[in-house]
Amino acid sequence: MADSDASGNRWSDLDRPPLRAAALRRALTGEDSLWTSLDVLERVGSTNTELAARARAGEAEPGAVLVAEEQTAGRGRLDRGWSAPPRSGLFLSALLRPDPPADRWGWVPLLAGVATAGALARVAGVDTGLKWPNDLLTTAGGEERKTGGILAERVETPGGAALVLGIGINVSLRQDELPVPAAGSLLLAGAQGTDRDPLLRAVLRALEDWYGRWSAADGDAAASTVLEAYAAGCVTLGRQVRAELPGGAELRGEAVAVDGDGRLVIASAQGVQEPVAAGDIVHLRPASGE
């Protein structure tokens, strides 16, 4: 697969220029950066799958970033598909080997949500909410829409256990290009620009910042302020939700908190609070005051 800086690019949509890989490498990688390498592929099934395979084979080091102009088999949570036209979004994965204890690694996709939402707000001018655990929501036509998602996968490498962190963001998709009508994009949310280069730079720099804070606190989400920032941006809190749990069980109630382990705490109508570590969350009504 060729780097997208190569000549002979097969796409001609001038509204969707290719990523400038060489310039991105100069800006983002180096001795003082978390990011050790950055490759842009024209086409790949899934950046997470590709980077995980490279990591297992010892062909990728911690800090490696893989970006695709087009994903043909992108994956979200619960193995859901994630597809979009070429150059219409940011599809990236990063290889991380966290220093904090492995039982705190579950905070990595949550802090990535904080970083990504902040970056999109600053660069695209789009207010981005976090739906627990790892969806990025924007508003278009008065409706909340999923515009991005985050997926972290543990992988065993020759150097030890690591995480492949994937981030997917719909950037310039038009309404007729959405995979499902309820999906969204930065364009539909009124973004002040859809140039993916500055967006990618902002996301990776913000991710490096928040990952650094969390690592310096040995993975303590409260001490690093990751917990506070996540709770502040989490639009799930304060809503009536339905949690579809592994095994087919279901829990309904108000999402009242995110605890120190990153679990969503749901209070039932009887006042019993139960933490949920994994599940599919459905928002049943807007948060109070919206």
- The domain ranges of the chain are 21-232, 237-283
The two structure tokens encoding residue 288: 């109070």
- Residue 119 is predicted with a pLDDT of 98
- Residue 271 is predicted with a pLDDT of 86
Tell me if 21-232 shares its fold with 237-283: no
Query: Is residue 255 a contact partner of residue 241, using CB atoms and an 8 Å limit?
Result: yes
List the Cα angle 42/45/47 in 5-degree steps. 75
- Residue 74 is predicted with a pLDDT of 58
Can you tell me the distance from the alpha carbon of 282 to that of 71, in angstroms, rounded to the nearest whole number? Answer: 27
50-105 residue pLDDT tens: 999 999 999 999 999 999 999 987 555 545 555 679 999 999 999 999 999 999 99
The CATH number of the structural domain formed by 237-283 is 2.30.30.100
- Residue 15 is predicted with a pLDDT of 80
Instruction: Pick 180 or 273 by higher pLDDT.
Output: 273
The two structure tokens encoding residue 133: 């655990």
Going by CATH, does the domain composed of 21-232 fall within 3.30.930.10?
yes
Can you say whether residue 67 is alpha, beta or left, with left for phi > 0 and alpha for psi between -120 and 50 degrees? beta
Rounded to two decimals, the pTM is: 0.91
The sheet with strand 143-157 has its strands ordered as 37-41, 64-68, 89-96, 160-170, 143-157, 135-140, 129-131
Can you tell me the distance from the alpha carbon of 31 to that of 54, in angstroms, rounded to the nearest whole number? Answer: 22
Contact partners, residue 218, CB within 8 Å, separation at least 6: 99, 100, 101, 104
Nearest Cα neighbor of 88 from 196, 162, 166 is 196
Which residue has 């983002």 as its token pair? Answer: 28
- Residue 66 is predicted with a pLDDT of 98
For the chain, helix, strand, coil in percent to 5 are 25, 30, 45
- Residue 281 is predicted with a pLDDT of 95
Give the rounded percent of residues in the chain with a pLDDT score beyond 90. Answer: 83
